[in-house]
Structure 1
Amino acid sequence: MNQSTMTNEASAQDAFHDGHLPPMLVRASAGTGKTYRLTARMLQIFFQGAAPQTVLATTFTRKAAGEILDRILITLADAADPENDAALESLRQQVGLETLPRATCLQLLKKLVANIHRLRICTLDSLFTQLAKSFPFELNLPPAWRLTDEIEEVWLRERAIDSVISTLKPTELSTLLSMLSKGETKRSIVRELDSVVTGAYQLSRRCADDAWQLLDRVTEPDNAVLTQAVATLRFAEPPQKSIRKKLGELADALEQRELDSIVSDRLIQNYAKAKALGEPVKFGRSVLPDGLDDALGALYAAARSHTLTLLSLQNEATGEILGIYDGIISQLKQSARTLGFDDITIRLAAFFSSIDYKSLSRRMDGAIDHLLLDEFQDTSPAQWQVLRPLARRSADTTIDQSASAEDAVPRSFFCVGDTKQAIYGWRGGVAEIFGAVDQEIPGVRAIEQNTSYRSSPVIMEVVNRVFKNLTRHPIADPTEDPMGTDKATYEASAVRNFATSFPTHVAFKESLPGYVRFETSPKVAAPKAALKTAACFDLAVKQIIALNEAAPDISIGVLTRTNRAVANLIFLLQSLGVDVSQEGGNPLVDSAAVELVLSALMMCEHPGDGRWRYHVESSVVSDLHSVTADQVRSWVSDFGLARTVRRLSAMIAPHCDARDQQRLKQLTQLTINYENNAPPRIRDYVRMVREKRVERPQAASVRVMTVHQSKGLEFDAVVLPELDGSLSGQSPLYLADAPTVGDPPRAMTRFLNKDSWHFLEPRWRKAFGHHSQAKVTETLCLMYVAITRARQALYMFAHPAKPETKTLASLIHAGLATEHSFADPDLVHYELGRADWYQAN
């Protein structure tokens, strides 16, 4: 902990003794006790006499909310125990009250338990649902509305897309699809519209109606100007044969108006860069002869006009499609009386821009005087729009004695998070939201926590080496980019900023043993990425099995970047006899017994499809062999789906082990819940079962999940077998130009290839570049989260590659500064600590 942090904490404690808690922002690195800090703040507030209903603490998961409540009650109960002096002393240190009496702890515990129904410790989704129920008419909510789940959201989206297609005339649909795809032929209309909706709808609905029409088109030069340019290019006589050939090709393409080939030509990019630098235009290493400036200028203007016109048409078509879709999906949800969490957030964000706080207090059955925000880096701009009025009021700690009793009470604001763990950009989270707090909440104090109470010194040493030395990788080398159009420039900036701002991490448990190994797999000559990934998976599976056999009681977290990798690793481990589970659960079809029930149901849904009949008749369950499709259909019609599933399960259960029997029970319960709002087709139910994740009652010691799903968890050992993915990921479908983090975007556009960024006006170049920078930063955050889940051991596996490749593996290799080239196969590149760490516990 640095000196400024200690000073800030000391002043915060002094303020507490004075009865005043200043607005505070805590930047808490992984494993440094942010929950401890948040619960300490809540206890301070309660000890000052705040009523339970005036305190609001929000987080992102129910598990985290439950953990905060448990800690508060258990801490108070232990401190109130007359035989537990250590707990009382620990609480005194936690809240900064050296003379805190035991009786006060008991009194507060009784008060909280008696008012536990009024304690506001909840997820953001739960809070927003409560707010929506408080303003049903203002938000135009349907009567007796309910929340959808992710499966129902998909069904509603598919129905809305079908309605979009049926609403438009064939000519209109054809025109829009041509504009959407820039004239290219698409194989599937539904797939094209689905990609537009899933990619752009949520952010687009926060924008103004004209947001997709704000990209300026550029007028194409006159035909006479282009004809003159063709002649100039064609009859130019440079000494280099290669330049004469290139100029001839461009002249032919311009004459025939084949502008697509001109747009992507390297000479066009060279021309743009040379003009920005005030240098002569080059082709390769050769300078183009004099007299071509006007012709090249006309050529560039034509290519720019063509690019921006197509992009503008694509934007307009996207906006029109999304507008039609918005009307249809809103009508569907209104008639079905359903809303998704995003629907609630968007409506609240628009409404809260002009909310009267006294009205809010009355509707919420009490004012919120103390606001505590957890995992703040994952807050989206729309969510911050809703929270901002609450934050500003709670942060205003000045008390006007002449004000009403409601406005004269003490207030406080507190938020905790870590920008290094901002990995939810794909669902709207924006790490820069921390900056918004500094700018929009007056008087907020920022402190840092970088002492890990989770990980061993070995893990912390590797964390510091990797992230402080990121600039050793060639990706961090700055490039000359006068126009701000080089994607590599923004990627380099992201890496340098992450490394230079990375704080030194310290391990609190200095004697905790640890071990880290970074290893490359045997080199696969084939170019297929799947084969290279498989080689890493083989190494990882062998390590997992060895660890699990040597120390069955340790927890092993296997973290990947993709859900497909999760499925592959679970299959590999289960086929080798390893008991493994997935965070958030697996679909119930990981049980053969459940698959058999679904086949019996699909047999009546599609009696002409022999697959389902064959599966039922070939099973070991003899009671099913005589069950016909008509019989199952009759059961569903007479008794309902849930009772039919229970009957089929009863036939199968005697032939199952305990795990499959448990899965059949879970299937029955899932079906009962499903029947309340069930679509009419059995195939919809079967699809839901195949997609819905259901947790097993008891998690295995080996757990496989994505890094996103591991957020907030920790394991004795962490295995990272998938480090070869791209740093920037796939290009997005759309991009937003947002003036500030907390406000809606002012304009939207479809994505443009990086080689064409120079055609854009400066504000859009900046928006595209910052998006690339944010994607690399998010990937680095993903790597940080993955590594810091480990308590004692970390095993990393990668395929050998050139050291300059832009992957997480190459960045880790550069940060560790091993003596071997990253291209060396089948090699342990880095090793630190005790390989038998589990025996030293």
Structure 2
Amino acid sequence: PVPKDYETVYNNFLKNFNDIQSGNARVNVAGCAYEISGEQAGLFLDIISHLVGITLQTQSMRTLGLFEVLQSYEDEYGKNVRQKGRLTFSDFPYFLSKRNKLTSGLIDLLEYRMDAKYDHWLLDEFQDTSREQWDAIENLIDECAMDPGAGRSSFIVGDIKQSIYAWRGGDSRIFNEQKRKYKNLGPERFRETNLDESRRSSEPVITTVNSIFGNKDEIQSLFPSIEGRWEFKEHTTVHKDRPGFTSWISAEKAPRWKELDAKLELIAEVIRKINPSENKLSIGVLVQQNKTGNLITKYLREHTNLKVTNDAKICIAKDNAAGIALLSIFRFSAHPGDKFSSGHIMMSPFRKIVEDKFPDIERFGNFIRSSVWKNQFTETVRELVSYIDFDDFNSMRVNQLLKAAVIFDNRGSRSIDEFVRFMENFTLRETGEPGSVQVMTIHQSKGLTFDSVILPELGGNTFLSTDLGTEIKYNENHEPQWILSMPNKGIVEADTQLNQYNTEKVANATYEQICKFYVALTRAKYANYLITEESEIGKSTRDNFVGLISKTIKSEDLNNGTLYSCGDPEWYEKIVQEEGTPPIQKKSLPLPSENLRREKTTQSVTEELSEKLTSKDIFTPGTAL
């Protein structure tokens, strides 16, 4: 390894690489500043350039090694999975791409058949389309769009201000590229409609959105890397008489590790004022990280009487006492020597069943194994929980666990170990309902509407930094130009090509961050509440979202921690309940496995679960154990 002192000196020279190139640099070494100029600067430039070259050569070899590993995996995966017809959704764009030379003949045949079948194409959320996806369908869309007889059409809908899925391949630039291409067809074949009138939000919500995202001068000043890229036309709303409100509240200054704690009571206070259960209103608490959402969910469940749901994936067997105890019961029944599980059972409410119904816990384990063999897991769990009184939260989880057990039983397995593994990994996304509070990430909220939205996580790192891993540089034809496992930041900045790549990546990441907060502030029908902590404002003078709202909407005239206010703070008392749109009636699908195993007509999945899993069935004691 390189000695620490040498590494420090090397990094100091890298920081001044451009000055050394210009022939006049000032470099700190061991606390002393040294002037480097003239011939001496040239010598140091040769040394530093050589070290940079060695580092890049090493990274290239590492990248090649990574390629060899991935190629071996790809060969095995192709032979044992793809060649047997087991394709995932992500495989299809690759095989259908016009860039895939291996399947070009088959693609021509497939495109011919599809082109003959479909005369009109409708594409929604087009800003999230990836290059691979577009390559797979571009020829088909072009054929319809350029039809000389004008009997065919392509209808494309998208909003590049909502481009928040670049991390999974979405490329919003495709939208404008195709718009320019189709615009050349002339007014007879091309029509563009801008949808700048909101049909969701109140006037105060839209006014705030315009003030923040319509201030192009401040956006360009704070984030020069996206110069000319942010497109925004002033929004209006059809709901000009709808009551509404937007405010920005700041919690008192707290230590860094307690910044969220300072906001939690503010979140609860806002929710109590709105009183969603009484006023039949929905509230969305939108965060940037699932970890933050989980902490907020826990706090609100402990400090409010409302039903609080979390749209993160929840392991329903591991976040509640009932589920954990049931897992211990099944582990012990499969492994009678498991002292930890048996001890847990005897410390749980299930102890009463063991003591009242069986001479010892070993006989209890025998009963569980016998019940699983005779009745499968759903009925075994149902009988166990029928003897226990649960609180509301654990009752909800027990219902969900029973539904999960039905899914496992439909596989036909009676392996207790497999059942335990299945339940440990089974996850659900909880959904909200009128009068409840729903906590989720901003990404998960896309496309959803809430009566009110609370945004307690607006700070975070600067937009101008990105993590570099193994990166792919594409050329102007969107073909891979090079792939490299990137070196550290100093080396990247010292190399012209790598520095240019990093600058482009920062610009794309900055654009996506602005889009993310635009999505967050346009989810509310009536009101938005922005919550920060005092120190976040001081730290955010330039380059993140708190910095942007500080420049665009922050008021110096308001007191009591309120930094911005627009609209009526008592909006929730003035709402006239609107008639909702009737839900679309969906037909239930039959359970495929039932069709395969039985000749008689089977119930739908929804009907079967609702029939078997009513609360009455779960909590009414059945036959004694």
Name the TM tier (shorter chain): 0.7 to 0.9
Aligned-residue offset at 1:695: 4.1
Residue number among 319, 338, 345 corresponding to 1:616 in the alignment:
345
Q: Following the alignment from structure 2 to structure 1, what is the Cα–Cα distance between the partners of residues 460 and 4?
A: 39
Aligned-residue offset at 1:448: 1.7
Q: Following the alignment from structure 1 to structure 2, what is the Cα–Cα distance between the partners of residues 299 and 833?
A: 63
Q: Following the alignment from structure 1 to structure 2, what is the Cα–Cα distance between the partners of residues 366 and 665?
A: 49
Aligned-residue offset at 1:374: 0.4
Correspondence for 1:704: 439
Query: Is the aligned partner of 1:650 residue 2:387?
Result: no
User: Contact 2:131–2:171 at 8 Å: present in 1 too?
Assistant: yes
Q: Aligned in 2, Cα 1:269/1:517: closer, same or farther, shift over 3 Å?
A: same
User: Contact 2:473–2:501 at 8 Å: present in 1 too?
Assistant: yes
Aligned-residue offset at 1:356: 5.0
Query: Is the aligned partner of 1:532 residue 2:277?
Result: no
Aligned-residue offset at 1:710: 0.5
Aligned-residue offset at 1:504: 0.9
Residue number among 240, 247, 250 corresponding to 1:510 in the alignment:
240
Correspondence for 1:453: 199
Q: Following the alignment from structure 1 to structure 2, what is the Cα–Cα distance between the partners of residues 569 and 767?
A: 38
Aligned-residue offset at 1:753: 3.3
Instruction: Give the counterpart letter for 1:603 in structure 2.
Output: F
User: Contact 1:469–1:814 at 8 Å: present in 2 too?
Assistant: no
User: Contact 1:722–1:797 at 8 Å: present in 2 too?
Assistant: yes
Which secondary structure does the structure 2 equivalent of 1:717 belong to?
strand
Aligned-residue offset at 1:730: 5.5
Aligned-residue offset at 1:561: 0.5
Which secondary structure does the structure 1 equivalent of 2:281 belong to?
coil
Instruction: Give the counterpart letter for 2:467 in structure 1.
Output: S
Which secondary structure does the structure 2 equivalent of 1:831 belong to?
strand
Q: Aligned in 2, Cα 1:446/1:629: closer, same or farther, shift over 3 Å?
A: farther
Correspondence for 2:213: 467
Instruction: Give the counterpart letter for 1:327 in structure 2.
Output: D
Aligned-residue offset at 1:427: 1.7
Query: Is the aligned partner of 1:264 residue 2:24?
Result: no
User: Contact 1:371–1:391 at 8 Å: present in 2 too?
Assistant: yes
Instruction: Give the counterpart letter for 2:259 in structure 1.
Output: K
Aligned-residue offset at 1:339: 3.6
Query: Is the aligned partner of 1:306 residue 2:54?
Result: yes
Q: Deviation digits for residues 366-410 of structure 1, max 9, x if unmatched?
A: 6121111000111111111212122112212213xxxxxxxxx92
User: Contact 1:653–1:661 at 8 Å: present in 2 too?
Assistant: no
Aligned-residue offset at 1:309: 2.0
Query: Is the aligned partner of 1:713 residue 2:459?
Result: no
Aligned ranges 1:90-489 → 2 under 5 Å: 260-265=7-12, 267-273=13-19, 275=21, 278=22, 280-283=24-27, 288-331=36-79, 333=81, 338-349=86-97, 350=100, 359-360=110-111, 362=113, 367-399=117-149, 410-438=151-179, 441=182, 443=185, 444-469=190-215, 471-472=217-218, 476=221
Q: Deviation digits for residues 548-574 of structure 1, max 9, x if unmatched?
A: 268531111110011111211111111
Q: Deviation digits for residues 495-549 of structure 1, max 9, x if unmatched?
A: x4465x322111221111211111111111x343xx1122123321221233226
Which secondary structure does the structure 2 equivalent of 1:735 belong to?
strand
Q: Aligned in 2, Cα 1:356/1:548: closer, same or farther, shift over 3 Å?
A: same
Aligned residues: 551
Query: Is the aligned partner of 1:798 residue 2:528?
Result: no
Aligned-residue offset at 1:344: 3.2
Aligned-residue offset at 1:455: 0.8
Aligned-residue offset at 1:617: 2.1
Q: Deviation digits for residues 577-612 of structure 1, max 9, x if unmatched?
A: 221123377432355433332222233456555443
Q: Following the alignment from structure 1 to structure 2, what is the Cα–Cα distance between the partners of residues 269 and 679?
A: 63
Aligned-residue offset at 1:758: 3.2
Instruction: Give the counterpart letter for 2:349 in structure 1.
Output: V
Correspondence for 2:574: 840
User: Contact 1:600–1:629 at 8 Å: present in 2 too?
Assistant: no
Aligned-residue offset at 1:666: 3.3
Correspondence for 2:588: none
User: Contact 1:632–1:644 at 8 Å: present in 2 too?
Assistant: no
Q: Following the alignment from structure 1 to structure 2, what is the Cα–Cα distance between the partners of residues 702 and 458?
A: 22
Q: Which runs of 5+ in 2 are unaligned?
A: 576-625
Q: Aligned in 2, Cα 1:411/1:497: closer, same or farther, shift over 3 Å?
A: same
Q: Aligned in 2, Cα 1:606/1:281: closer, same or farther, shift over 3 Å?
A: farther
Q: Following the alignment from structure 2 to structure 1, what is the Cα–Cα distance between the partners of residues 327 and 455?
A: 35
Which secondary structure does the structure 1 equivalent of 2:117 belong to?
coil
Q: Aligned in 2, Cα 1:820/1:302: closer, same or farther, shift over 3 Å?
A: farther
Instruction: Give the counterpart letter for 2:225 in structure 1.
Output: S
Correspondence for 2:475: 739
Q: Following the alignment from structure 2 to structure 1, what is the Cα–Cα distance between the partners of residues 83 and 398?
A: 34
Aligned-residue offset at 1:800: 1.9
Query: Is the aligned partner of 1:726 residue 2:461?
Result: yes
Which secondary structure does the structure 2 equivalent of 1:666 belong to?
helix
Aligned ranges 1:660-809 → 2 under 5 Å: 660-661=394-395, 663-674=397-408, 676=411, 682=417, 685-686=420-421, 689-695=424-430, 701-728=436-463, 731-740=467-476, 743-762=478-497, 764-801=498-535, 802=538, 803-804=540-541, 806-809=543-546
Q: Aligned in 2, Cα 1:320/1:263: closer, same or farther, shift over 3 Å?
A: farther
Q: Aligned in 2, Cα 1:682/1:361: closer, same or farther, shift over 3 Å?
A: farther
User: Contact 1:352–1:389 at 8 Å: present in 2 too?
Assistant: no
Q: Which runs of 5+ in 1 are unaligned?
A: 1-182, 184-252, 400-408, 478-490
Q: Aligned in 2, Cα 1:709/1:352: closer, same or farther, shift over 3 Å?
A: farther
Q: Following the alignment from structure 1 to structure 2, what is the Cα–Cα distance between the partners of residues 769 and 420?
A: 21
Aligned-residue offset at 1:782: 0.8
Instruction: Give the counterpart letter for 1:602 in structure 2.
Output: R
Correspondence for 1:552: 279
Identity percentage over the alignment? 24
Q: Following the alignment from structure 1 to structure 2, what is the Cα–Cα distance between the partners of residues 610 and 808?
A: 52
User: Contact 1:519–1:798 at 8 Å: present in 2 too?
Assistant: yes
Q: Following the alignment from structure 1 to structure 2, what is the Cα–Cα distance between the partners of residues 326 and 634?
A: 47
Q: Following the alignment from structure 2 to structure 1, what is the Cα–Cα distance between the partners of residues 155 and 480?
A: 27
Q: Deviation digits for residues 304-330 of structure 1, max 9, x if unmatched?
A: 123212221221222222223333444
Instruction: Give the counterpart letter for 2:308 in structure 1.
Output: V
Q: Following the alignment from structure 1 to structure 2, what is the Cα–Cα distance between the partners of residues 545 and 710?
A: 22
Correspondence for 2:306: 578
Which secondary structure does the structure 1 equivalent of 2:193 belong to?
strand
Q: Deviation digits for residues 735-757 of structure 1, max 9, x if unmatched?
A: 2111247x453322223433322
User: Contact 1:459–1:514 at 8 Å: present in 2 too?
Assistant: yes
When the two chains are superposed, the root-mean-square deviation of aligned CA atoms in Å is 3.6
Q: Following the alignment from structure 1 to structure 2, what is the Cα–Cα distance between the partners of residues 532 and 563?
A: 16
Which secondary structure does the structure 2 equivalent of 1:703 belong to?
strand
Q: Following the alignment from structure 2 to structure 1, what is the Cα–Cα distance between the partners of residues 368 and 180?
A: 63
Aligned-residue offset at 1:812: 1.6
Q: Following the alignment from structure 1 to structure 2, what is the Cα–Cα distance between the partners of residues 797 and 641?
A: 55
Correspondence for 1:816: 553
Correspondence for 1:493: 225
Q: Following the alignment from structure 2 to structure 1, what is the Cα–Cα distance between the partners of residues 426 and 272?
A: 28
Q: Aligned in 2, Cα 1:532/1:751: closer, same or farther, shift over 3 Å?
A: farther
Q: Following the alignment from structure 1 to structure 2, what is the Cα–Cα distance between the partners of residues 389 and 637?
A: 61
User: Contact 2:23–2:38 at 8 Å: present in 1 too?
Assistant: no
Instruction: Give the counterpart letter for 2:507 in structure 1.
Output: Q
